[in-house]
Amino acid sequence: MSFVPVAKASEIPPGSAILVEINNLEIALFRLGDEFYATSNLCIHQGGPLAEGRIDGEQVICPWHHWRFNIKDGTSPLSPKLKLRTFPVKREEDQILIDLP
């Protein structure tokens, strides 16, 4: 695994998301309480920016067409076949790291 530092936990309020760009890859980094999760930033419907979406519980709602995805595992309530790419995340002190493929 090649974890890369991407953000400081203290800079991301609970219940919010930021956009992280690494190696031409856009990743949405979400904070739910004290836990962090990372998915592709691009909605699989038409590429909407999920880091700009509204967070509702454990779901992010795409700002373009309101598609929903589970932040923790990337699944859509519409169909198990609709799934965002997810990335392992770990926290070391105040540093958030994402594992890249």
Task: Say how far apart CA 30 and CA 89 lie, in whole Å.
Answer: 10
pLDDT digit string, tens, across residues 9-42: 999 999 999 999 988 999 999 999 999 999 999 9
Q: What is the total residue count of the chain?
A: 101
pLDDT digit string, tens, across residues 45-60: 999 999 999 999 999 9
Class for the domain spanning 2-100 = mainly beta
Task: Say how far apart CA 101 and CA 79 lie, in whole Å.
Answer: 25
Q: What's the predicted TM-score (pTM) here?
A: 0.95
Domain map (residue ranges) of the chain? 2-100
